[in-house]
Amino acid sequence: MPVNRRDALIGLGALCAAHSRTALALRADGLMTAADVHVDGYPTVQAVRWMSERLAAQTDGRLRIRVYHAGQLGREGDTVDLARFGALDIVRVNFASLNNAFPSTRVFSLPYVFESVAHMRRAADGKPGAAVLEEFARRELVGLAIYDAGSRSFYNVRRPINEPRDLHGLKVRVPPSDIFLATIAALGGNPTPLPFGEVYSAMQTHLIEGAENNWRTFHTSRHFEVAHYWSQSDHSYSPEALLMSRRTYDALSARDRELVVAAARESVPYMRGLWDQMEAESRAFVLAASVKANDVDLPAFRKVAASIQERYLVDQSLRAIFDGIRGLA
């Protein structure tokens, strides 16, 4: 059933007021709350709903998840903090927004670490992904699963981008990540951190001139209506983390913990199937809407981005994860 913003904020207020106690214990009906900034119907939103259906079927309706989509419960960084304090049970956050608090996520967000979506999925499912999920325990979170976010490319209101120098002078929105700031700056753009929900109006008023993201988000955010140039740079495959509050996790019985973790891992192939289908649909839609798309000089982009990799990989723990990822290429 659709949830309006007023109801969502009332619910969030009640959760925050009770954050000092275990969230799940206060909801004896077993209803857990999940947050996502993506719109209704987005693959990650649908995957968590699939989890809810799976858990309900396994527990005769005792465990369920209510998903608040489209940023109803705040920005990604806000929802992570709410989960840490037990005011939210489950959150979906892009790795880029986690880079500063959880260093191992940086490797997955570095430019040109992955060769393809398939390569990223192998890394997420293997030892590199397991190492990242384990790190969330340091700050009152449980890493449940890693979802896809496709490859990220540039789009803007001005011109096609064929090589790094075409970014010079362009104000490009980036997520709150030092890696993304450094990458855009190295490529010659003017990186501009902005909340995701403000990007459309910022491009419309030319406060910024471009952004970078995947085809699906470019479509569902309606950014294609104001940014008519898409340049397939594939500079990042920064994936999504599905996280659970440690307080909620600890309040579950051992059996329920197993069910939740299993449902999360089983939702990954479901999410990927939706992702592949919807990404293709979004690409076709925006191209039909007169967006001009072009390939870029990938060797030129990779050459510039190599300095960003080396800057972060002096940390040997990050280098070990990086070597594991490259070994799966």
- Enumerate domains of the chain plus CATH numbers: 5-149+239-280 (3.40.190.170), 152-237+287-326 (3.40.190.170)
| DSSP states of 279-300 | HHHHHHHHHHTT-EEEE--HHH
Between the alpha carbon of residue 184 and those of residues 111, 173, 303, 316, the distances in Å are 10, 9, 13, 24
Contact 28, 83 (CB under 8 A): no
Task: Report the candidate in 148, 153, 197, 152 with the shortest Cα–Cα distance to residue 5.
Answer: 197
d(CA 145, CA 257): 14
- pTM for this predicted structure: 0.89
Reading the chain (329 residues) residue by residue, the pLDDT tens digits are 444 544 544 455 545 544 444 444 445 678 999 999 999 999 999 999 999 999 999 999 999 999 999 999 998 989 999 999 999 999 999 999 999 999 999 999 999 999 999 999 999 999 999 999 999 999 999 999 999 999 999 999 999 999 999 999 999 999 889 999 999 999 999 999 998 889 999 999 999 999 999 999 999 999 999 999 999 999 999 999 999 999 999 999 999 999 999 999 999 999 999 999 999 999 999 999 999 999 999 999 999 999 999 999 999 999 999 999 999 99
d(CA 48, CA 315): 34
Both tokens of 110, joined, read: 């570095």
Both tokens of 284, joined, read: 């076709």
